[in-house]
Homo-oligomer: A and B are copies of this chain.
Amino acid sequence: MAAGNGPRAAPRRERFEHPSRQPPRRAERGAARCRHLGGGRKWGKRGAVGRRAEERLLQPGCSAVARDFNSFVMRTNTCGELRSAHVGQEVTLYGWVQYQRQGLFLVLRDFQGLTQVIIPQDEAHSRVKKLLSDAPAESVVRVTGIVSHRPPGQENPKMPTGDIEVKVETAEILNSCKKLPFEIKDFIKKSETLRMQYRYLDLRSFQLQYNLRLRSQMVMRMREYLCNLHGFVDVETPTLFKRTPGGAKEFLVPSREAGKFYSLPQSPQQFKQLLMVGGLDRYFQVARCYRDEGSRPDRQPEFTQIDIEMSFVDQAGIQRLIEGLLQYSWPEERGSIATPFPSMTYEEALAAYGTDKPDTRFGMKIVDISEFLQRLDIQFVQNALSYPRGTVKAIRIPQGMRYLKNKDLESLKESAKSQFNQEIMEIICRPDGSLKSLLTKFLDEKQQSELIQALNMQVDDVVLLAAGEHKQVCSALGSLRLETANLLEAAGLVLRDPTAFHFLWVVDFPLFLPKEENPTELESAHHPFTAPHPSDTSLLYSDPTKVRSQHYDLVLNGSEVGGGSIRIHSAEQQRFVLEKVLKENSEVLSHLLEALDFGAPPHGGIALGLDRLISLIVDAPSIRDVIAFPKSFRGRDLMGNAPDYVTPEELEPYHIQVSWPLADKEAKKN
């Protein structure tokens, strides 16, 4: 912080300056929903949240209640609150020493901001002067003093409290800080391991305070929308349940009954359906969920979803609900979002973007040129088209030659080969408008010109072309589209507007997919409770592979942020799916099947991935940045050192013992 202030001419009354910030964007429109620490950490591309805080903290939404941050405590004000209007008042502030300069002044920090505090220099205050001059940075202090105007010319317009300073009368060191392992302002430069080990210090940073407060407020707004406006009931469901069939990713919890285990569920799916059978009508929960995936980057063993279920609803009803929910809870400083969100079928998404979670912030869509090419006698094209669902497709990279190097193109082709086993052919539009490609030798001039037209190519454009089976070709090109976007942006092209939020519904997923390990068997594309598409119900009994589902995904900027479905409410249909289609033992779900028999209403729901959603909104590089105490990618808590060893005695009540891997056993022997 201090580092950014540069050399000072007048140390007696230095101006406290915030590090330069990007200019405020849409933020200006609304009242400040969150005050900021004056820290200067930058974050992601959209990090410009450190604008001047508004004078009043308005409670957004149904009422304009000001939050009282000073209730129940002895401070008169927070460190972000004092303005010219307070001049002359005696105030008591509590906070952390941001820095102290030459026994003359210090800057006090709390969650809401910074206040410059003038240390008295006269003899009568010698004790106070010594106290404050000796206090190490990050010590916790109380100061009481008089709010004064800063001397003319010393005001700091970049600092919300920059018009005033507090002349200290009395002070108290509440807790002196030991030498830190590093300075807070350098935190962002430190390894993430170190930051997670000292998470409580990282939490003092502007960005984490902002992220956690935005998260809290957005969830609160969601609750208001669901609970107060639309009559949803917040119901807590158990997290100690039993293993679902095939629930390989569920943590186990040993019970005191020998051999019996609880399981931490991946979602409240069964419970929320049972609540509908119980006539609750409208349920929601901000639900803690668990998934044991071992080590996976940017996944957390515990995560949170906004879990919703409704009776007597159809797909459109859930979609409108979610659109209203997000619109209502959307942080004002992130602009507004338009509803209804656009919608796309799974097949359309695959064909145009090569994925079921298209990033629609930019073009470069996949184009089908099979029809154009099939007229030509090109061997590899004819080969590809002779297969079932054979196709030739392409993406066009506008100005690709200006932004991509040869090695970029090579790496794109290699990536398609290694990840999708897909050959890629490139077509380049030379400055003279001619094409450079292995393909050109098969094309006469007219055909080349037709191809240029079909692909809408301009000078310096690059086209990546792939031939083969539809899904493979689309997936490969969809992946290249994203890789290319990263390369273009790394080269300086702004392709994805960092302030844009593109929501998209993806619908009409297949209900079943062939199992990867045995393609003659089917598995649920999402989960076995998903209802078939009303138009495809009869196909369920004749050709289940062709059945579309009533599943819907919500995609934001190319990330899946939610998914849900209308559920099967007929016990007979549910039994058929489980037993005849999926060939599963329905015994373990007998309670659910029985419930469907006893007056289950038609129902459906959705779950939003809260961690992911918030991380996209604040443009954080990882979901770890929107979680107070995240685990490392190996699932460890680096601060408290969890998981940890326990004694055999502690395992005894649970009737389990550790089966040490051989290597460990040997090591223990020696």
Contact = CB atoms under 8 A, between A and B. Distances in A.
Nearest to A243: B646
A327 to B, nearest CB: 14
The 3 A-B residue pairs whose C-beta atoms are closest, nearest first, are A203-B278, A242-B642, A62-B63
Contact of A235 (B62, B74, B234, B628): B628
B262 A69 contact: no
Interface in A287-311: 288, 290, 292, 294, 301-302, 304, 310-311
Given A203-B275, A646-B252, A317 B73 contact: yes
Contacts of A231: 57, 67-69
Interface of A: 37, 57, 59, 62-63, 65, 67-69, 71-75, 94, 96, 109-111, 138-140, 174-175, 177-178, 180, 198-204, 208-209, 212-213, 215-217, 219-220, 223, 227-231, 233-243, 248, 251-264, 270-271, 274-275, 277-282, 288, 290, 292, 294, 301-302, 304, 310-314, 317-318, 320-321, 569-570, 591, 595-602, 627-629, 631, 635, 637, 639-646, 650-652, 654-661, 664
A247 to B, nearest CB: 9
A655 B643 CA distance: 14
Contacts of A655: 658-661
B233 A600 contact: no
Given A177-B598, A261-B645, A656-B656, 19 more contacts: A63-B228, A68-B229, A72-B318, A111-B281, A140-B601, A220-B228, A238-B302, A240-B631, A240-B643, A241-B642, A242-B644, A253-B643, A258-B659, A259-B664, A260-B645, A261-B646, A271-B629, A274-B629, A288-B288
A57 B228 CA distance: 10
Contacts of A73: 310-313, 317
Given A317-B72, A658-B656, A234 B216 contact: yes
Given A220-B228, A274-B200, A569 B69 contact: no
A282 B69 contact: yes
Given A110-B281, A175-B569, A302-B239, A599 B139 contact: yes
A216 B237 contact: no
A654 B62 contact: no
Contacts of A111: 279-281
A569 to B, nearest CB: 6
Given A96-B599, A600-B140, A278 B201 contact: yes
A57 B227 CA distance: 12
Given A72-B310, A317-B72, A598-B200, A242 B637 contact: yes
